[in-house]
Structure 1
Amino acid sequence: MNLEEFIPDPKTRALIERTREFARGFFEREGTHGFSHVERVFNLCLHIGREEGADLEILALAALLHDIARPLEDAGKVEDHAAEGARIAKRFLLSLGYPEEKAEAVAHAIEAHRFSRGPEPRTLEAKILSDADKLDAIGAIGIARVFMYSGEHGRDIESSLRHFEEKILKLKDLMYTETARRIADDRHRFTVEFIERIRREIEGEL
């Protein structure tokens, strides 16, 4: 991605790159919620944010920082990575002299990005971050992530397909923005086609 296309101000780009390096330091390994997931959410946020007229500076920072406490949650050190990540992110931004009102906006977007628990996103930037995070679970990337997770946790194909039915196929109806809904519809169709195909192959159909 050409960041200058979305963020023309060089000082803002420098802040984003510094934040990227700070966020990257929280991820010791890759996986379904590794830093590659963060980068994809970041890219989606900028594309959706531009279409929806969002504050791309707030959105970019929130996207890069939204999962920094995920490794802590996975290790059992915190209960809610969104709430803890919001606290860490706000401290980091304030330490750079970032305006408190903007730091609070970034923190709110991070705290509200999980679709499975509150708080409800109040700002456009928070809604877009939540949408982008959900979009990364649908479509080709979403399929790859489900089976990556299954491999990490010893889950078989049938269990993986149940996960699609119980969670992934419901995500398209949980989008907040019109742009995300359009993307989700396309990714959802691809996911449904994949599930139908793999079930036929499981049954041995020619």
Structure 2
Amino acid sequence: MYDTTSVINSLLLDDLFSGYQEVLGEDYDAYRNHCLRVFNFCCALARKREVDLDKIAVAVFFHDLGIWTEKSFDYLPASQLLARSYLEKNGKGDWQSEIEAMIGEHHKLTRYKEHPEWLVELFRKADWIDMTGGLLRFRLKDDFVTDVLEAFPNAGFHRKLVQLAVERFKSHPFSPLPMMKL
């Protein structure tokens, strides 16, 4: 079980990021820190369950990656495809449905109910904690959320998302946030 009293890193996340520095470019630190914050929040939310931290790490790494690989704000399908390819190459095909749901539903505004035994809802909450700068906490301790936010500074991640949203709105005014779901 995950210790919710301290912030942790993930060796698997470090390994995954090592192959994407060039793709992420100047956004490397911003995306890496976002992923580490979401990883910590998701692990903490899952504290009462035995979970595979590598499963969370894979979902976290790929969840927004399509923004950079496809240079698109309509990135969820690309992110899911990248995750699927990774899972198949690494003998984790049995994780595919859950990981794709974690990626595909992480911007859902309402609770994910289809497979309550999966990590999808916890992952969705973890991303919302980060996206709100800790305003939403889903019962995580204030000190823990603050420690995670301080350990992995924003480094311009949210500013980048605002820039992408503005650009998307200019070209697709009737679909400015294609990743959002009810």
Distance 1:25 1:108 in 2: 27
- TM-score, normalised by the number of residues in structure 1: 0.51
Distance 2:57 2:81 in 1: 17
Cα shift at 1:131: 0.8
Code of the residue aligned with 1:109 in structure 2: it is: M
Distance 2:26 2:113 in 1: 30
Code of the residue aligned with 1:115 in structure 2: it is: K
Code of the residue aligned with 1:64 in structure 2: it is: F
Q: Is the 8 A contact 2:42 2:56 kept in 1?
A: yes
Q: Is the 8 A contact 1:32 1:148 kept in 2?
A: no
Name the residue aligned to 1:108: 101
Cα shift at 1:62: 0.8
Instruction: Report the structure number with the largest CA radius of gyration.
Output: 1
Cα shift at 1:128: 1.3
The structure-2 alpha-carbon separation of the partners of 1:126 and 1:147, relative to structure 1 and needing over 3 Å to count, comes to closer
5+ long unaligned stretches in structure 2: 1-6, 135-145, 164-181
Residue-by-residue CA offset, 1:84-137 (whole Å, 9 max, x unaligned): 1011111012112x23111332222112212259x9763531111111111002
The structure-2 alpha-carbon separation of the partners of 1:136 and 1:55, relative to structure 1 and needing over 3 Å to count, comes to same
Is the counterpart of residue 68 in structure 1 residue 68 in structure 2? no
5+ long unaligned stretches in structure 1: 5-12, 154-173, 175-206
Distance 2:61 2:156 in 1: 22
Is the counterpart of residue 149 in structure 1 residue 159 in structure 2? yes
Q: Residue 115 of structure 2 is aligned with which of 102, 115, 122?
A: 122
Distance 2:157 2:33 in 1: 16
Query: C-alpha root-mean-square deviation of aligned residues, in Å?
Result: 3.9
Residue-by-residue CA offset, 1:180-202 (whole Å, 9 max, x unaligned): xxxxxxxxxxxxxxxxxxxxxxx
Greater helix share, structure number: 1
Code of the residue aligned with 1:81 in structure 2: it is: Y
Q: Is the 8 A contact 1:27 1:71 kept in 2?
A: yes
Name the residue aligned to 1:133: 127
What SS is found at the alignment partner of 1:51?
coil
**1:50-65 alignment, distance < 5 Å:** 50-65=47-62
Distance 2:56 2:80 in 1: 13
Name the residue aligned to 2:75: 81
Residue-by-residue CA offset, 1:164-188 (whole Å, 9 max, x unaligned): xxxxxxxxxx9xxxxxxxxxxxxxx
- TM-score, normalised by the number of residues in structure 2: 0.57
Determine what percentage of the aligned residue pairs are the same residue.
19
Cα shift at 1:18: 3.1
**1:30-45 alignment, distance < 5 Å:** 30=27, 34-45=31-42
Code of the residue aligned with 1:21 in structure 2: it is: S
